[in-house]
């Protein structure tokens, strides 16, 4: 993981960050990571896995449904291995 050093932070900004750490129960480093991630993360971003899981829940997919779709989405070697472990 990369490191970033920020120098010459105004006292009032540092104080505000300390207040946020107390409110959120995080260390200063964890709070800074959260602030940076929030600033660069696009609003409304949906991760593909989360979206697919939500769609599966909405249409009430079962494990059997998953196995019926799997042959069309996975390499044959993975399907054979998965079926042997069942």
SS3 content of the chain, % helix, strand, coil (to 5): 70, 0, 30
Which residues constitute the domain of residue 78?
A: 48-85
Q: Is the pLDDT of residue 79 over 80?
A: no
> Two tokens at 78?
């993975």
Length of the chain: 86
What is the per-residue pLDDT for 12? 96
At 8-62, the pLDDT tens digits run: 999 999 999 999 999 999 999 999 999 998 888 877 777 787 888 888 889 888 8
Q: The pTM is what?
A: 0.49
* Whether 37 and 61 share a structural domain: no
Tokens matching residue 5? 């050093």
The answer on 56 and 27 residing in a single domain is no
Rounded Cα gap, residues 13 and 35, in angstroms: 13
Are both 2 and 40 inside the same structural domain?
Answer: yes
Of residues 65 and 77, which shows the higher confidence score? 65
Q: Which residue has the higher pLDDT, 67 or 85?
A: 67
How many structural domains does the chain have?
2
Say yes or no: 53 and 67 in one domain: yes
């Amino acid at each position: 993981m990369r490191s970033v050093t920020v120098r010459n932070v105004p006292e009032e900004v540092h104080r505000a960050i300390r207040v946020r750490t107390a409110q959120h129960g995080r260390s200063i480093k964890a709070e800074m990571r959260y602030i940076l991630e929030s600033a660069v993360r696009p609003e409304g971003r949906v991760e593909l896995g989360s979206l697919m899981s939500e769609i599966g829940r909405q249409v009430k997919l079962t494990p059997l449904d998953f196995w019926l779709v799997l042959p069309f989405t996975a390499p044959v070697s993975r399907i054979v291995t998965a079926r042997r472990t069942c």
